[in-house]
Structure 1
Amino acid sequence: MAILLTILWVLYLLLQAFLASFLIQPFVLFLLYGITKGFSQKKPAAAPLKNYQFGIIVTSHQDTTFLRPIVDSLQKQAYSKFNAYLVADDCDISDLHFDDPRIHLLRPEEALHSKTRSIHYALARFQPADEVLIIFDPDNLVHPKFLEELNAWYNKGYKAVQGNLSSKNVGGTYEKMDSAGAIFNTFIDRDSRTALGLSTNIWGTGVSVDRALYEQILYDNRSRVGGFDKKMQAEIAKRVHRIGYASEAIIYDEKVEDAHNLEKQRNRWIRAYFKFLSEAFDLFFYGVRRFDFNLAYFGYNLTRPPYFLQMLIAFFFIVVNFFISKWLSVAWLAAVGLFVLSFIVICTTMARDKDSVERCMVYASVLLSSGTLVLPPGTK
């Protein structure tokens, strides 16, 4: 009986250590990032040896409002070697006309009601010359040098590269909170990992993948109703040396403007997290078996709970441990405090302008006043 109790106690401690590590991780990454950046020297970019042909997919469902603006931003690209495929799923396209031969307006005969199906619909209509697939949401806008920056990354040998999502609208409180969360997640999942030479997470928009590589991914029914990027990044991570992050390839993303849409978006992300949690653990143990730290670390981060769940978990263990071991309660309180401090420091440090700092402080004030984080990690 004593042996069994000892085993259960050890498992209890290991579970807490695993969950608490997500609260401590931002602080550790910030330190490592500072050390790495201090010793690194930026090398001048080499002239590209090849100009890749990009196939851009924009998926729109029952609404074409944003198609003209994103097409306009694509037509202003400094790099002109691309085709854009606009999938207007269950949309009225009678008033949409584009004279540019690179812009292909597609309307499926039968409604698809699925982002993955829309992507496959466009992919089946790619021209043979299209080499790299890029996925955008219809409400995105693209910086004029986006494709030029991506071309440089593919000339380095990368097969999958995530662009940098920047906020398009940051006027309201919810938009500021959403934007601040994006700054924090960008550092944790992309900036710090790039500095450490590790694969970065991808979003469901602004991501580019080698066409032949993407065609190897087999989606199941789980991906058809949200969270397809969870499946996509897990499959890509297994097949490439590294997933790159092009911080200068900027996409402007629409942020949610009210509490109702914020709640809907976050609920969608939470469902996707639990839906693909087994996939995350599979990837983690796959990396462990192969002694591949990059892959194991990538899988470990995919198991990371949404932030509000991390706070609930922390509160649960603070209360439970108060009756078991007060030192463990103190340790959890310290982890939560370190996380809050790391969030404030990372956001204010990585913010690119005064407005971004203001957004971070709005987010931090909500965090400190409520005791929970509103935004889970993830993508639209």
Structure 2
Amino acid sequence: MGVLLRLPFEQPNPLRVAPALRELVSAGSVHRVRTAVGDEAWLVTGYAEVRELLDDRRLGRSHPDPGSAARTGESALFGGPMGEFDTEMVDHARMRSLLQPHFTPGRVRALAPRVEAMTTRLLDDLAEQGSPADLHAAVALPLPVLVICELLGVPYEDRDQFRAWTQAAADVADRGRSERGLGELFGYGLRLVARKRRDPGDDVISRLCATDGVGDEEAAGLSMALLFAGHETTVVQIGMGAALLLDDADQWKAILADPGLIASAVEEIMRAPQRGGGGIPRYAREDFEVDGVVIRAGDLVLLDNGAANHDAAVFPDPDRVDVTRRAAGHLSFGHGARYCVGAALARVELAAVFGQLVPRFPDMRLAVPVEELEIRRDVLTGGLVELPVRW
């Protein structure tokens, strides 16, 4: 087999597919690799295979012997197995049944005007601050935090505190820091739950607290999972989406000329970013075969939805950003039973940002060469460190 390639792959251009990943993809759909901590895993890169396995009950997040399981990194949050092996499927179904009512199309539509207003205020501040500016700090970071705080009923003034804890929990290199961050975040969740039980509001945490059979620990765990997932990934998508559009002036101009392209642009912004390999971790619950490769029970399988989103068999000329593309079949939100419950909300946020940013700043451009944009490698979600722009 030779020396196995190690994740994450080097990515000289943060907006382009890592060369090593491109080579792997050309050789097939399933590859043996080493994770960042040196453990062996299967990396699945083909669209058809990733899509099928995302909804395959032979894969899960738990492991029968967690202590011996291969790990993707040192994060206590997603670096290794999660949940109880014997009850994972039942537990997951319960979690979704508790969360989905808070993200119905009606609830998300009702929130859309507030998201638009928040976006307008942030862009007003950006215009007042003037050029040059860091679009990450000005818009990509604060908007998802504002939205998730309002949705959950989390005080926005606590943002620096809980953001520090979520970043620590997501640390892929320092297990101790990750565990401390996770503990602090859960403790914060318990305090919020206690407050909501005393003084409920019109928010998700209050409604979870009022649900029969949901105790303090479950309400706190679900709430903090939403707090993490509800802002971290959207922060990344806004920043990377803006960088992709700014790197191709024709795409920026296309949206400017036809605001009706926002819906397709949002899907393309979700599809187009490419990380240095990895994807969604799962563990095989039994032996099975994928594309002629035998996966053994207990093996770590990485479903690389980023690579799948660049499968030329599904998305012609996949490395080109095209806001007119019909990219709705992308796998950025997952697929099947574990499809992201917050997908509709993320789409509302992205549509608000790019629906306003492009016409408000028609001449915006990157203030540094694209190769100088720095991707975060120390946390699970990645994303840009900053996004310098001028107009």
TM over 0.5: no
Scaled by the length of structure 2, what TM-score is found?
0.28
Higher RCO by CA contacts (8 Å cutoff, separation 6 or greater) = 2
Scaled by the length of structure 1, what TM-score is found?
0.29
